[in-house]
Amino acid sequence: MTPMTEAIVPASQPTSQPTSQPTAQPTAEFAGEVVTHAHVRDVELPHGAGRLALVTLDNGFDHTRPNTFGPASIAELSSAVNGLRARAAAGEIVAVGVTGKPFIFAVGADLTGVSHIVARDQALQIARAGHAAFADFADLPVPTFAFVNGAAMGGGVELALSADYRTISKGVPAVALPEVFLGLVPGWGGCWMLPNLVGVERALTMIIDNPLSQNRMMSGSAAYRLGLADAIFEPADFLEESLAWAAAVVAGETTVERPEVDRDERLWATAVTKATALADAKTGRQARSPYAALDLVSAARTATREEGFAAENEVLADLLMSDELRAGLYAFDLMQKRARRPAGAPDKALARPVTKVGIVGAGLMASQLALLFVQRLQVPVVLTDIDDGRVARGVGYVHAELDKLAGKGRLSPDRLRRYRALVTGSTNKDGFADADFVIEAVFEQMSVKQQVFAEVEKVVGPNCVLATNTSSLSIAEMASKLTHPERVVGFHFFNPVAVMPLLEIIPGERTDDATLATAFAVGKALKKTCIRAADRPSFIVNRLLGRFMGEAARVVDEGTPIDVVDRAFAGLAPMPPFVLIGLVGPAIALHNGETLVAAFPDRFYASPTLQRIVAAGKPGFYDLSSGRPVLDPEVAEMIETPADPVVLGADAVRDRVLTVLADEARRMLDEGVAQAPMDIDLAMITGAGFSFWNGGITPLLDRTGVAVAVTGRRFLPEGVANVANAATTSTSR
């Protein structure tokens, strides 16, 4: 496609254009590709530095459709760059810059077309096309600049790395190379260019550490500190300041000095070994992409650019054809589509407005809820508890957290004062009289919750929704003694509330549509991923985790060492099961397990070891004070070795637990606990941190054959999450 060109120069200085521009042909056709155009305009740099050709990437949509690179977009960028090369050779321009549309620089490759890649040769062409386009930009005969004005991920970061110089805005919310998170590598130059710019240790933070830490993003300021950019400016006048800085560079008034990259072989080997250990802990070597990226980064110490890019081409071609990528794209699609349109949610027109929120309880969970509600809903929030001390601590916690946000510049002084004034507390529930939504966060015992709701019902109006944050108890039973049980709904958050995205919404037997619709509307306003679950013990996540951790505990109680069991789940769960128990809290984990044992005694297991740990008041199996888990010696003495121990290896432990997970997931679908396998996967990703590159859990069970072996059938149709037709939306590559 021919790039759009606008000449913005004084009339006395006409710009001659080349008679023709070479047009790169797309290497493949992606159905539905939203083409990111490379609009070119000329800018006179300040102080007579000369004329810069500014390429603006823009797909013609607002920020909800970020700039991405598909074959047609890459071809257009190549065409624009080739035209600029001719102009540079003719002396018409002294520099070239690239920037993005408002709020977005570029977020990588458009993977909607992965479903159209049926042969490795096609994948290889795509890898080569990206490298060729970015190399053409890097090799222009005039200085090149990337003005990173907004979110930059994947190929967007790699395009910026291809420039000679980079500026970045302090307002940039996200900079990342997230490829390993999805099952790819930074394959358009990232694995070679980044370590050769910032050094191996910093490069591996971005290429390995961040993606494997739940796809952590960097701010613009953090990216600048990493060494990704040479200058940083405020967002209000970012482009103007960037152009002035570029003029100074072109004129020789500003010299960019970067630390020399240390190429000591032992230094690189140590950094790679450290990153490999992290990959082992996170993936258990069950994923290919982090190790492929590590090999590429390791080779970048001595490889030429051509060698580095050629190696990236081969690796990227392999991974584009992999099941790992298909599962990652399936998971991404769940986040982009199913999470935004929850299955089973009533018509949103039925939702009632919420102008005030009441919270029963003022402990840590209740206080976290209050903080979330006041930030997202911006309505009065009233906390209640049994004495003034508890109330004061709860309100104080919220105020202190708001003060921290203000101290970090994330809340203005006016908003801080307003939010603090909106959060109040009381020892009685009279303040709930005009509340539209009351949620309880008290002790996980049915009689206590029933009493709380009975007290609240006497105070609130007839349309007030009564929500429970129970993690396992029956919504119908909780509402059974109320005059209006139809307004009770489960509203189950995951800890920590501010971090975990999932919110399970559970209607009771008599919950009406208006109550359920209001719950979904509130959940959306809280910016949570809302999933409808049936009113069955422990709902979705805690039921599967209960079977998972119960079986792991059974294996330990039968005689397998705890470290072997924990090691078996690297790459499946976000952390080993006995570390997870410490995070959840042994008492809560035991309560969930005992609830499930009471409901399903033939399948679930309440560990005597865990019972002893709870009775002893231990915070978990491990001492985490050193920053790494060390088995508590007192806990080790509580693990009783049976007379005839059954000692399993890590692979056998993993197979055994995958078997029970397949069994439980099938039962949950048959019972209607979750409406579809996609809801189980979305819940386990957002509520339990299960791996993107596994697609959650059901694609893994299908791919390994466990699903068919245990249940006689797959969870997902043939061709979903393990062949190339899972992704239907753009993503960072």
Judging by DSSP bridges, how do beta strands 37-45 and 50-58 pair with one another?
antiparallel
**Beta-bridge partners for 44:** 51
Domain that holds residue 630: 541-672
Over 50: is that where the pLDDT of 26 sits? no
Q: Which residues pair with 97 in a beta bridge?
A: 54, 145
Give the three-state DSSP class for 578: helix
Q: Are residues 264 and 366 in the same domain?
A: no
Within a domain: residue 627? yes
Quote the tokens at residue 450: 């029933």
Sheet with 529-532: strands ordered across: 423-426, 381-384, 357-360, 437-440, 465-468, 488-493, 502-507, 529-532
Question: Which H/E stretch holds residue 360?
Answer: strand 357-360
The packing angle between helices 541-558 and 577-584, to 10°, is 120
Window from 410-424, 464-478, 613-627 with minimum mean pLDDT: 613-627
Altogether, the residues listed in the chain come to a count of 733
620 located within any domain = yes
Same domain (yes/no): 130, 189: yes
Structure tokens given for 12: 């006395």
Q: Among 672, 692, 708, which residue terminates a domain?
A: 672
DSSP one-letter code for 559? T
Identify whether 682 is part of a domain.
no
User: What φ, ψ does residue 185 adopt, rounded to 5°?
Assistant: -130, 160
pLDDT for the residue 571: 82
CA 685/CA 699 separation, integer angstroms: 12
Residues 545 and 649 both lie in one domain: yes
Q: Are residue 117 and residue 138 in the same domain, yes or no?
A: yes
Cis peptide, bond prior to residue 501, ω within 30 of zero: no
**Tens of pLDDT along 105-118?**
999 888 777 777 88
**Residue with structure tokens 């997870």?**
580
What's 99's DSSP letter? Answer: E
606 and 641 both lie in a single domain: yes
Q: How far apart are CA 503 and CA 368, in angstroms?
A: 14
- Whether 171 and 266 map to the same domain: the answer is yes
How many angstroms separate the CA atoms of 189 and 305, rounded?
A: 8
Q: What is the mean pLDDT of the chain?
A: 91
Dihedrals phi, psi of 640, to nearest 5 degrees: -85, 130
Within a domain: 528: yes
Q: What is the pLDDT of residues 482-496, one digit of tens each?
A: 999 999 999 999 989
Residue 96 confidence (pLDDT) above 50: yes
Of 645, 685, 417, residue with least CA distance to 544: 685
Strand (E) or helix (H) holding 4: none
What is the number of structural domains in the chain? 3
Asked whether residue 721 is domain-assigned, the answer is no
What are the residue ranges of helices labelled H in 227-320? 238-250, 265-283, 289-299, 305-320
Q: Which of 19-23, 622-626, 681-685 ranks highest by mean pLDDT?
A: 681-685
CA distance 53 to 98: 8
Burial of 423 (0-12, 13-18, 19+ CB in 10 A): buried
**What are the angstrom distances between the C-alpha of 274 and each of 204, 208, 448, 547?**
10, 10, 49, 33
535 with 509: CB under 8 angstroms? yes
Examine residue 625 and state whether it is found in any structural domain, yes or no: yes
Buried b (16+ CB within 10 A) or exposed e, 552-576: bbbbbbebbbbebbbbbbbbbbbbb
Q: CATH code at 32?
A: 3.90.226.10
pLDDT in tens, 35-58: 899 999 999 999 899 999 999 999
Task: Single out the residue in 532, 549, 564 at which a domain terminates.
Answer: 532
Inside any domain, residue 200: yes
CATH of residue 656's domain is: 1.10.1040.50
**Residues 316 and 359 occupy one common structural domain:** no
In a shared domain, residues 282 and 402: no
CA-wise closest residue to 233 among 169, 279, 183: 169
| Residue that is last in its domain, among 532, 552, 579 | 532
pLDDT digits (tens, 9 = 90+) for 67-80: 999 889 999 999 99
Name the token pair of 569. 């789940």
Residues 355 and 310 in one domain: no
If asked whether residues 491 and 569 sit together in one domain, one would say no
Q: Do both 358 and 306 map to the same domain?
A: no
pLDDT at 97: 98
Return the exposure string of 587-608: e unless at least 16 CB atoms fall within 10 Å of the residue's CB, then b.
bbbbbbbbbbbebbeebbbbbe
Amino acid at 169: S
| Among candidate residues 386, 334, 378, 336, the one with its CA nearest the CA of residue 360 | 386
Beta-bridge partner residues of 144: 96
**What CATH number has the domain bearing residue 429?**
3.40.50.720
Task: List the one residue out of 99, 25, 32, 26 whose CA is nearest residue 65.
Answer: 32
Q: What is the mean pLDDT of residues 331-360?
A: 94
234, amino acid identity = E
Residues 524 and 565 grouped into a single domain: no
225 in a structural domain: yes
Predicted confidence at residue 114, as pLDDT, reads 77
> Over the stretch 352-400, which tens digit does the pLDDT of each residue have?
999 999 999 999 999 999 999 999 999 999 999 999 999 999 999 999 9
